[in-house]
Structure 1
């Protein structure tokens, strides 16, 4: 017991010394490029999100942490401008298709990112690059519209203006701004009645940039291109994620002080356990592993259904399980099963559109039946198995 007390006192003393030292240590500047509207660090976007109402007076600002497709298919997103500020964006094929469709309806979308992903590069013929010239660490930027020019070029340090489009199809894009090397960094695309704005320097919209007069003026000017609608959708999906519940351990591991405190506690506990095992180790009894009765259970349940010959009950359960799979795995609403739902299902899963229509029609048929024959049940089961094969779902 005496050795244990000495160990506990020593560990407690070291922990107190560590906590006091960290409390009195100057907090280092976090230069992480999060571009999150919750972050007040240099490369967060807390300031511009807090003052965005000054740029769009009368508009309702709505922060979203869902994929582009989910947001733009919501009726509440009609007639709204969409703003995305992030380090990099790489939308899926479904998201990109919905984005273009939304713009064609007369809406504006503004994206500021260092990289725009494979679909933008393929469909718009663009690519981005950064200026790695050591002699020109900070690249000035400017607008091509003479009415928007400042007395001097816009210059913010920390490489805020160093990214540019090194590949650009000028037959499709309208160049609105470039850098001191005459490389485009702010462009516009027309899709139907709306506009897509792409800007390669999200740092110019960060807290660090907005604390300088030139940075604040540049941010206000570049966002003035976006249509002032009754609603502004501010995207945080590409900076903060979907907002789903995260592990509490992320709080410890994202904070350096808490991270080291956690490691010290773990290693201290491990040392204590090893020390105690050496002194008081007991014989570990052999415990027979539990038998796996899953297969027996499935066999019994299958035998019960086979003897009752309750086809309609089996068919309805298969429908419920399949619709639950649509909701949980593909995040689809199953309240209305029609041709439009079949099209969305085909896009989300990659199955053939005609097969999707056949599957949905069969589900609607089974749902209203009071009796199902053996052949109908077998055919329905084949359709379900074919769906899983085409969608590539492996049951995990």
Structure 2
């Protein structure tokens, strides 16, 4: 008993020490690119967002999680700068039309992204590529073209932050503002009316990891200095966070890797449970033949009998008898005599035209006394009765 007690105490102490060590051990650096203004991870935009007011001291910073079209549509922005920073910036035809109107009025747009939408690349006639450097080698040296911003020593960054460049560019429309040591363009400007569009193919140069270094901070400051002073800075979060109208609980689960794994494992376990339960409990469902509708067959048989006998008189009398029964039951009329008094009552209560009722009464009187009824007379009687039913209220 004493040995078991010591064993339990020892196990509890070891478990406590392990849990304490796990709790206080330094967390590994998260290198996931988030491009979020509140993230302090290496590839977040916390420092840039905090320093925007220092770079543009007279500007007010506003964030938007709506698409470009919704942000700019029917808005009269003046003297503003629009920043879109993310790994992948999606601009479609409608977004670009609003951006063009926005820039033609004198506003400026900065897009920093590794990947641009196909529509934007086709419209601007550009293509992006990357220098393949070994992981342990420093990135491609870059610099500005403007002598006022160009430094004597090129900017060199680790982790390939500056390896992206424009492999295709419309030199007739675009103005190169930055190049790497191989002459490839790394920063470009597209004039639009009174404004301009600036594109940087290396968005991580504006992230926390780069801005914590002196060269990175200097490069970002000079890059943003190409934008004019503005009253308002629009900071786009739609590409990083998604549409504000589409926020859901699942976004929280999918954002964090442990929660994502837990969510997918739960779905997989539920699927396995359902499959096993179906296999164990499901029984063969017997096929029940629906009851056949014999009314149609009966009508066909009766119709064939009458057609073979060709007794039009009997058919006409039955149709007249059924019609008179309808008048008695529906309108509570006495039908012993087909006279003018009954005709007027039928017109009044049924709402059918008087001419049609007169024609019908005339046919019934003729056929009731006829010794022989032709097919044409029988068809005329049937059509007249059908018209009566359609007009009757």
TM-score by length of 1: 0.60
Work out the CA distance in 2 between the residues paired with 1:282 and 1:141: 68
Work out the CA distance in 2 between the residues paired with 1:168 and 1:100: 19
Partner of 2:147: 146
Partner of 1:161: 162
Question: Are positions 1:36 and 2:29 aligned together?
Answer: no
Query: In 2 relative to 1, CA 251–151 (structure 1 residues): closer, same or farther, beyond 3 Å?
Result: same
TM alignment of 1:1-396, pairs within 5 A: 23-24=23-24, 26-75=26-75, 77-134=77-134, 137-259=138-260
Work out the CA distance in 1 between the residues paired with 2:223 and 2:124: 21
Measured after TM superposition, the shift of residue 24 of structure 1 is 4.8
Structure 2 residue runs without a partner (length 5+) = 1-14, 286-393
Count of residues in Structure 1 that have an aligned counterpart in Structure 2: 269
Structure 1 residue runs without a partner (length 5+) = 1-14, 287-396
Measured after TM superposition, the shift of residue 128 of structure 1 is 0.3
CA contact (8 A) 1:71 1:77 kept: no
CA contact (8 A) 1:22 1:257 kept: no
Query: In 2 relative to 1, CA 267–77 (structure 1 residues): closer, same or farther, beyond 3 Å?
Result: same
Q: Deviations over 1:121-160 (max 9, x none)?
A: 2222110011113385511210011221224211221111
Measured after TM superposition, the shift of residue 192 of structure 1 is 1.0
Query: In 2 relative to 1, CA 203–20 (structure 1 residues): closer, same or farther, beyond 3 Å?
Result: same
Higher alpha-carbon Rg: 2
- Give secondary structure in 1 for the equivalent of 2:88: coil
CA contact (8 A) 1:84 1:112 kept: yes
Query: In 2 relative to 1, CA 26–257 (structure 1 residues): closer, same or farther, beyond 3 Å?
Result: farther
Query: In 2 relative to 1, CA 263–18 (structure 1 residues): closer, same or farther, beyond 3 Å?
Result: farther
Measured after TM superposition, the shift of residue 40 of structure 1 is 1.2
- Give secondary structure in 2 for the equivalent of 1:51: helix
Work out the CA distance in 2 between the residues paired with 1:267 and 1:18: 31
CA contact (8 A) 2:92 2:117 kept: no
